[in-house]
Amino acid sequence: MKCIFLARMSRPAKFLVIRFSSIGDIVLTTPVLRAIQEQMEGDSEIHFLTKKAYAPLVESNPRVSKVYSIEKATAEVMDELNEEQYDYVIDLHRNIRSRMVKRSLKMIDFTFKKYNKEKWLLVNFGVNKMPDKHIVDRYLDTLNAFKVKADDKGLEFYIPPGEEINIQEVFPDLQGAFHAIAIGAAHIGKRMEEDFIAQLCEGSELPVIIIGGPSDVEIGQSLEGQFPGKVFNAAGKLSVNGSASVIAQATKVVAGDTGMMHIAAAMNRPIISVWGCTTPDFGMYPYKPAAGSVIIEPEGLNKRPCSKLGDRCKYGKEERCITRIDPARIISHLTRQ
Say how many domains are in the chain: 2
Residue 78 sits in the same domain as residue 180: no
Q: Tell me, what's the pLDDT at 1?
A: 41
Residue 234 sits in the same domain as residue 103: no
Where b means 16+ CB within 10 Å and e means fewer, 132-146 reads eebbbebbbbbbeeb
Residue 142 sits in the same domain as residue 92: yes
Q: Is residue 239 part of a domain?
A: yes
Closest to 255 in 3D by CA, of 218, 212, 292: 212
Per-residue CA distances from 239 to 12, 185, 232 (Å): 35, 15, 16
State how far the Cα of 36 lies from the Cα of 144, in Å rounded to an integer. Answer: 11
Q: Is residue 100 part of a domain?
A: yes
Q: Which of 146, 181, 208 is the last residue of a domain?
A: 146
State how far the Cα of 61 lies from the Cα of 67, in Å rounded to an integer. Answer: 10
Q: Is residue 158 part of a domain?
A: no
Q: Are strands 253-256 and 271-274 parallel, antiparallel or unpaired?
A: parallel
What digits encode the pLDDT tens for the residues 82-128?
999 999 999 999 999 999 999 999 999 999 999 999 999 999 999 99
* pTM: predicted TM-score of the whole model, two decimal places: 0.94
Residue 314 sits in the same domain as residue 183: yes
Q: What is the maximum alpha-carbon separation in the chain?
A: 64
Contact (Cβ atoms closer than 8 angstroms) between residue 274 and residue 296: yes
Residue 194 sits in the same domain as residue 290: yes
Residue 176 sits in the same domain as residue 142: no
Residue 23 sits in the same domain as residue 110: yes
Q: Is residue 49 part of a domain?
A: yes
Q: Is residue 4 part of a domain?
A: no
Average pLDDT, the chain: 94
Q: Is residue 237 part of a domain?
A: yes
Q: Is residue 240 part of a domain?
A: yes
Domain harbouring 321, CATH code: 3.40.50.2000
Where b means 16+ CB within 10 Å and e means fewer, 100-116 reads ebbeebebbbbbbeebe
Per the model's pLDDT, the better-predicted residue between 5 and 231 turns out to be 231
Q: Tell me, what's the pLDDT at 12?
A: 82
What digits encode the pLDDT tens for the residues 198-253?
999 999 999 999 999 999 999 999 999 999 999 999 999 999 999 999 999 999 99
Q: Which amino acid is at 190?
A: K
State how far the Cα of 238 lies from the Cα of 170, in Å rounded to an integer. Answer: 10
Q: Tell me, what's the pLDDT at 11?
A: 72
Is 119 strand, coil or helix?
helix
Per-residue CA distances from 19 to 27, 98, 285 (Å): 10, 8, 18
Q: Tell me, what's the pLDDT at 336?
A: 79
Q: Is residue 6 part of a domain?
A: no
Residue 109 sits in the same domain as residue 176: no
Per-residue CA distances from 49 to 46, 77, 78, 260 (Å): 10, 9, 11, 21
Residue 145 backbone dihedrals phi, psi, to 5 degrees: -65, -20
Residue 264 sits in the same domain as residue 141: no
Arithmetic mean of pLDDT, 13-28: 97
Residue 188 sits in the same domain as residue 299: yes
Residue 131 sits in the same domain as residue 256: no
Per-residue CA distances from 86 to 17, 61, 78, 264 (Å): 10, 20, 12, 33
Q: Which domain holds residue 39?
A: 13-146
What digits encode the pLDDT tens for the residues 129-166?
999 999 999 999 999 999 998 998 999 999 998 999 99
